[in-house]
């Protein structure tokens, strides 16, 4: 079974978010904030693709619920981006 675009985006988002926590634990909190911003940006793209996927394929969530997840990921992107712009690191 081939890994599709959505699967790759999910893996990349998870790896970026994990790297953000590792950077924060290594006392590079501002870098962790920016990596977390990237992770949630990728998660937003994954959720948006999932909206369209759920319209034409069987899915555990309805397109409306995927839209809710996309909006939550976009909100987290804005939040962590705001923290990064103001020099606040992850966990401060």
The pLDDT of residue 35: 96
Pairwise CA distance, residues 78 & 48, whole Å = 16
Distance between CA atoms of 84 and 34, rounded to whole angstroms?
A: 6
What pLDDT was estimated at residue 90? 80
- What pLDDT, on the 0 to 100 scale, is given for residue 1? 55
Instruction: From residue 87, give the alpha-carbon distance in Å to each of 8, 22, 83, 90, 92.
Output: 30, 18, 6, 10, 10
Percent of the chain with pLDDT over 90: 73
Mean pLDDT, residues 44-57 taken together: 91
pLDDT range class, residue 4, cuts 50, 70, 90: confident
């Amino acid at each position: 079974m081939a890994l599709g675009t959505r699967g790759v985006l999910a893996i990349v988002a998870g790896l970026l978010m994990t790297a953000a926590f590792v950077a924060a634990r290594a006392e590079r909190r501002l870098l962790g904030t920016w990596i977390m911003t990237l992770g949630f940006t990728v998660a937003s793209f994954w959720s948006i693709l999932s909206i369209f996927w759920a319209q034409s394929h069987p899915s555990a969530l309805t397109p409306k619920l995927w839209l809710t997840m996309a909006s939550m990921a976009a909100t987290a992107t804005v939040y962590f981006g705001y923290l990064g712009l103001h020099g606040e690191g992850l966990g401060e």
